[in-house]
Amino acid sequence: MTASGRGLGLVTLTLALGLAGCAGDGGPAARGKQVYLAQCIACHNSDPARDGPLGPAVKGSSRELLEARVVRGAYPPGYKPKRGTAIMKPLPQLASTIDDLAAFLK
């Protein structure tokens, strides 16, 4: 095999591996888990069914609650908070991930 043939093979292999990684993202729940682990576990437990050091358990949180709380730092109308604190700051940069977070926490 010539050097150019090996180079082409390496490029083909790199492309194939890259495309395989993109195609198998695991769907909304997997993406939501990654967002949760990267953004939420500093205050919430790594197991969303358990209370964290600052934040309550969030498993089963509705999309409406997630959007209000995460994006705006508020609560939906009529919602009774689990805790009376207002420590959590809005994270509007996560607005595009709310559906994924909801899928993970479902």
pLDDT digits (tens, 9 = 90+) for 54-89: 999 999 999 999 999 999 999 999 999 888 778 899
Other CB atoms within 10 Å distance of the CB of residue 55:
20
CATH code, 101: 1.10.760.10
Whether 61 is covered by a domain: the verdict is: yes
| Mean pLDDT, all residues of the chain | 83
pLDDT of residue 51: 95
Please report whether residue 89 resides in a domain: yes
Count up the domains in the chain and report the number: 1
Do 52 and 44 meet the contact criterion of CB atoms below 8 Å apart? yes
Domain assignment of residue 94, yes or no: yes
DSSP summary character for residue 30: H
Q: Residue 87: inside a domain, yes or no? A: yes
- The 8 Å CB, 24+ separation contacts for 34-37 are 35/94, 35/97, 35/100, 35/101, 35/104, 36/101, 36/104, 36/105
Residue 64's domain spans which residues? 27-105
> Does residue 34 lie within any of the structural domains?
yes
Within a domain: 12: no
